[in-house]
A and B are shown apart, each in its own frame.
Chain A
Amino acid sequence: MQQYIIRRVLLNFLVIFLVATMVFLALRIDTTNVVRNASGACLGGAINTQNGAQTCLSITKAQLGLNHSLPVQYWDYLKKLAVGDLGRSFKSQNPVMGEIRQRVAPTIELGLLEIIVAVIVALPIGIISAIRQDTWVDYILRFVSIAFLGIPIFVIALVTIIVTSRFAGGTALPDWFGPHQTYYSLASDPYQNLKIMFAPAIIGGLGTGAVIMRFLRSQMLEVLRQDYVRTAWSKGLRERVVISRHALKNALIPVLTLIGILLGSIVSANIVLETIYTIPGIGNYVVFAVAQNPDFPVIQGIVIVVATTLVFINLLVDVAYGWLDPRIRYS
């Protein structure tokens, strides 16, 4: 086990290194636009003289650290990365690490709320759908889950905004389900914060819940067919005991790993919701960083941070899986 974990950690670092290299190279394919855009203020004054424009560009290039050759830049980048320094943002000149740290709280909060909503919804629905397999209850629940899986999250969000604002204008609903102009953090104003997070958490949670529900249903069906469940039935145990103690406990193990994997991808899953509901999280930040004028250090930083969380959560999930289900042996 120990050996397995050590090997996986080393492999994870290899993956992170590959990610860092790929994002670095992808960004360096075309730097002329970035330099030109970044030197806008300087160019404005010197646009008329060819020489002035050239000096402007080269000054900006040096400021952004793009004047060195590619291997030199790469080596510098890796050296900084090794000590956890992600460089400074092109736009704000602040250290990227600090900028990410500022914005990570709303993203994690939203992600956790989503998972909570998802689990609360998916657990009972998945169980009912499995123990009442192929009845009309099952069909309806499955149809709803397929709808939530298939219909894009931003479509659900926008339709909710339309419906609540058009048809419930006078009530409190638009306030709870609509986007807000200003953001309040959880620490500064918990009630306002809850209001802002409410709609995205519910909508994102239902989308995630549909994934969990489908998986739980198939796992439950699998477990309900096992011999030990039949034994439990034939011992004359009550349905509640068979379902909750014998079946659910075993069906939940793979579901827990799924929840872990979903937790690892909250950043990329929430980009759209953060944009619609104007939540200043990582997703919103990365869209801003990629949009008109790519902010290289920010993009690199976020991609590396996201990839790192993803691979290590996956490792945790695998280890937890072996711990919860001792039949699984890693070699």
Chain B
Amino acid sequence: MAYEEQAIPTVTTAAPAAAPLRRAKWWSGVLKFIRKKPLGAIGFAIVGVLIFATLGTPKLSFGAPSLPDRPLGFELGRPWLQRYSPDATFKLNSRAQIFEGVSSEHWLGTDKAGRDVWSRVINGARRSLFVGIWALILATIIGATIGIVSGYFGGLLDTVVQRLMDALQSFPPLIALILLVSINPLTTSPNLLVIAFALGFVGIPSVQRIVRAVVLATREQQYVEAARTIGASDLRTMRYYILPNIMASIIIVFSTGLGVAILAESTLGFIAPDKLPVGPSWGVMLNEAQPVIVDHPLPGLASCIAIAAAVLGFNLAGDALRDVLDPRLRLT
């Protein structure tokens, strides 16, 4: 079974003679992927929708009744670099009521302050993705560096680093996270980048563990030995011989970690909303909706579905990517 799965993503290996048919080949590759890995395809679809949603310009006022004028409920353009609009300053529209039901003006109704739930869910996607990507960038860069160095040199250094990672990992992760974001002396007010880096910091040991395990196996390969024999320095061996060969594993760690980071961000928002900067975040929305969730389930349900879909989507996509790129990692 594993052999078939490995062969799936080879879309570009079409024979040169079939060059005019390349477009058809490309489609057949995608179709084959969907047929072989239907769950992975669903995951990638969800991730695609999420990324598309982040391309929308955030509404400055979430009471926005002009919303449905846009075909998607948000305006495309001026994406990611724009500042996150603080919804503390939203203007309550005269027509917007609190806990309004579904209507053509508010596709998912309004929340306890009369803010449009749909636009908040859409903006929450931006926040989740922003935090998730920054967290994983930090976690993968630092975790992989430590993992490569400790796995490559081994010995006393490895033992010391492993004990340190053990210690970091035996912290209850959620407690460590709340602790990190609540005692940051860097910012006086909560900052999204600090949240992301705290998340990434908590994730370092798990990245390090996986990378180290892969490096331990790669280190014994003959080409590494050959590189050492012709006099390559340690740094050069790690950079040009080991790193390229464990890149697949690092990509997998990154993509599967995104789901975990998004989940952690919304859990943090749900447990300790005051630690997060103001703004539309799925976890915070859920926290606000929870006390009244029995009487007004719509805002809570919307953020529930958004969180579940995002986490599930990234998990499925990450799993499929792992099966395709490196089946060895399946059990780790």
Checking A147, A303, A306 against B312 with a beta-carbon cut-off of 8 angstroms, the contacting residue is A147
Q: State whether the Cβ of A123 lies closer than 8 Å to any Cβ in chain B.
A: no
Q: Is the CB of A11 within 8 A of B170?
A: no
Q: State whether the Cβ of A319 lies closer than 8 Å to any Cβ in chain B.
A: no
Q: State whether the Cβ of B88 lies closer than 8 Å to any Cβ in chain A.
A: no
CB nearest to B331 among chain A residues: A218
Per-position binary interface string of chain B over residues 148-173, scored 1 when its CB falls under 8 Å from any chain A CB and 0 otherwise: 00000000000000011011101111
| Most chain A CB inside 10 Å of its own CB: which residue of B164, B172, B184, B286 | B172
Bound CA–CA A76/B311 (angstroms): 44
Bound CA–CA A31/B302 (angstroms): 39
Per-position binary interface string of chain B over residues 272-298, scored 1 when its CB falls under 8 Å from any chain A CB and 0 otherwise: 101000000000001000100110010
Bound CA–CA A218/B319 (angstroms): 15
CB nearest to A302 among chain B residues: B175
Could you say which interface size class chain B belongs to?
35 or more
Q: Is the CB of A290 within 8 A of B182?
A: yes
CB-CB < 8 A to B179: which residues of A?
Answer: 23, 26-27, 290, 294, 299
Q: Is the CB of A287 within 8 A of B271?
A: yes
Q: Is the CB of A287 within 8 A of B311?
A: no
Q: Is the CB of B178 within 8 A of A290?
A: yes
Q: State whether the Cβ of B133 lies closer than 8 Å to any Cβ in chain A.
A: no
Per-position binary interface string of chain A over residues 234-269, scored 1 when its CB falls under 8 Å from any chain B CB and 0 otherwise: 000000000000000000000000000000010110
Tell me the count of chain A residues lying within 8 A, CB to CB, of chain B: 48
Q: State whether the Cβ of B183 lies closer than 8 Å to any Cβ in chain A.
A: yes
Binds A, one of B67-75, B106-114, B230-238, B262-270: B262-270
Binds B, one of A42-50, A80-88, A152-160: A152-160
CB-CB < 8 A to A15: which residues of B?
Answer: 163, 166-167, 170
Per-position binary interface string of chain B over residues 35-71, scored 1 when its CB falls under 8 Å from any chain A CB and 0 otherwise: 0000100000000000000000000000000000000
| Most chain A CB inside 10 Å of its own CB: which residue of B183, B184, B263, B315 | B183
Bound CA–CA A171/B331 (angstroms): 44
CB-CB < 8 A to B185: which residues of A?
Answer: 29-30
Checking B183, B290, B315 against A27 with a beta-carbon cut-off of 8 angstroms, the contacting residue is B183
Q: Is the contact region of chain A dominated by helix, strand, or loop, or is it mixed?
A: helix
Within 8 A of B (CB), among A95-145: 143
Q: State whether the Cβ of B138 lies closer than 8 Å to any Cβ in chain A.
A: no
Q: State whether the Cβ of A166 lies closer than 8 Å to any Cβ in chain B.
A: yes
Q: Is the CB of B170 within 8 A of A311?
A: yes
Q: State whether the Cβ of B301 lies closer than 8 Å to any Cβ in chain A.
A: yes
CB-CB < 8 A to B248: which residues of A?
Answer: none
CB distance from A71 to the nearest CB of B (A): 20
Checking A26, A152, A286 against B308 with a beta-carbon cut-off of 8 angstroms, the contacting residue is A152
Q: Is the CB of B293 within 8 A of A149?
A: no
Bound CA–CA A328/B270 (angstroms): 43
Q: State whether the Cβ of A18 lies closer than 8 Å to any Cβ in chain B.
A: yes
Bound CA–CA A258/B259 (angstroms): 22
A14-B163, A154-B270 known; A268 vs B315 contact (CB < 8 Å): no
CB-CB < 8 A to A11: which residues of B?
Answer: 163
Q: Is the CB of B170 within 8 A of A307?
A: yes
Q: State whether the Cβ of A146 lies closer than 8 Å to any Cβ in chain B.
A: yes
Q: Is the CB of A299 within 8 A of B300?
A: no
A150-B311, A152-B311, A307-B170 known; A159 vs B178 contact (CB < 8 Å): no
Q: Is the CB of B272 within 8 A of A287?
A: yes
CB-CB < 8 A to B180: which residues of A?
Answer: 26
Q: State whether the Cβ of B194 lies closer than 8 Å to any Cβ in chain A.
A: no
CB nearest to B300 among chain A residues: A158
Q: Knowing that A149-B315, A161-B293, A302-B175 touch, tell me 12 more A-B residue pairs with CB under 8 angstroms.
A: A29-B185, A150-B259, A150-B316, A152-B266, A152-B267, A152-B311, A155-B304, A162-B293, A271-B175, A271-B271, A287-B272, A290-B179
User: What are 30 contact pairs spanning A and B, CB under 8 A?
Assistant: A15-B163, A15-B166, A22-B171, A26-B183, A29-B183, A30-B185, A146-B316, A147-B312, A150-B312, A150-B315, A152-B263, A152-B311, A155-B307, A158-B300, A159-B304, A161-B293, A162-B294, A162-B300, A271-B175, A276-B290, A287-B178, A287-B272, A291-B178, A299-B179, A303-B172, A306-B170, A306-B172, A306-B175, A307-B167, A311-B166
